[in-house]
Amino acid sequence: MGQMLQAAAQAHFGPGSGQPKLRAAAIDVDGTLLDSQHQVSEETAAVLKQALDAGLQIILASSRAPRAMWPILAATGLTEPCTFVASQGAFVGQYSASGQLHRLHQHMIPLTDAHHIVRLALSLGIPTNWFIGERWLVSEIDSHVRRESGIVGFEPLLAHLFTETAGPDKLMFMTGAENQHKLAELAAMLPDTVHAQISNPTYLEITRTGVDKAAAVQTLCHGMGIEPEQVVAFGDGPNDLGLFAYAGTSIAPANARPEVLGAATFHTASNDDHGVAQALKLILEHNERKNS
């Protein structure tokens, strides 16, 4: 464990720090929980089980669609009754151990606004990714879609999006680095009924206004009687900064974006060095001291 993590954690969680027992951990998935090969390490999975057994609520909070969350939840034992946040906060649910999806909350973009945004994207030459529940629809299958499909482990359906009769949970637009300026152009053209976030420099993710990972986690924690100071948030990207602002403690892996590292309470090791597991071990030790 790095000296930086030890020193910062000691200052934050050490005797006399006054920090309360933590009751929930909201954890981003890609770039945070998963390593650079998009896998959960055995060490991380083992520590997550320890945390669950110790009574810590684990909430995976991701921009991934529910179907792309399923293999991660199954691999880490975070199936029902554990709750997850997907599609950038637009979908909140649980998966049974057999893989059946149970929806708890769903906040869809109004259909007319979604179709308007698809037209704006077409005018800029950017294909649209349309997510609703477990469905992933695309206006075009290009190299970015094929790469994303390889990462999340399932394939989208090529569809005529203007025939959809219900708005999506999330719209996503992907470009190469040479065209990422088009994402900024699209974001500047959006109606005020939607909220746009850059999850990484070449991904623009759009949800209904007021919908994001932080709002979803806050609603879940409030429903469980958990106060913000009893929540720890883990994340590596700009779309995790809302979580950091909400939670009493925020932890960024060493591979996080500079602005995220700057906003974190303290840092942990990178996602390839089991950073989430290292930090969770310290949290469990802190909670144990609070119990004694």
**Domain end (from 208, 230, 246):** 208
CATH of the domain at 11: 3.40.50.1000
Of 174, 76, 84, 173, whose CA–CA distance to 134 is shortest?
84
Same-domain check for residues 283 and 227: yes
Same-domain check for residues 197 and 117: yes
Give the list of residues 6+ apart from residue 141 with CB closer than 8 angstroms, or none: 156, 158
Number of folded domains that form the chain: 2
Q: How far apart are CA 240 and CA 252, in angstroms?
A: 10
CATH of the domain at 197: 3.30.1240.10
The parent domain of residue 161 ranges over: 111-208
pLDDT digits (tens, 9 = 90+) for 239-252: 999 999 999 999 99
**Domain end (from 148, 181, 208):** 208
Give the list of residues 6+ apart from residue 248 with CB closer than 8 angstroms, or none: 19, 20, 22, 227, 228, 229, 230, 231, 232
Same-domain check for residues 7 and 94: yes
pLDDT digits (tens, 9 = 90+) for 134-171: 999 999 999 999 999 999 999 999 999 999 999 999 99
Of 122, 105, 128, whose CA–CA distance to 210 is shortest?
105
Same-domain check for residues 115 and 256: no
Tokens linked to 191: 């109606």
pLDDT digits (tens, 9 = 90+) for 26-81: 999 999 999 999 999 999 999 999 999 999 999 999 999 999 999 999 999 999 99
Q: What is the pTM of this model?
A: 0.94
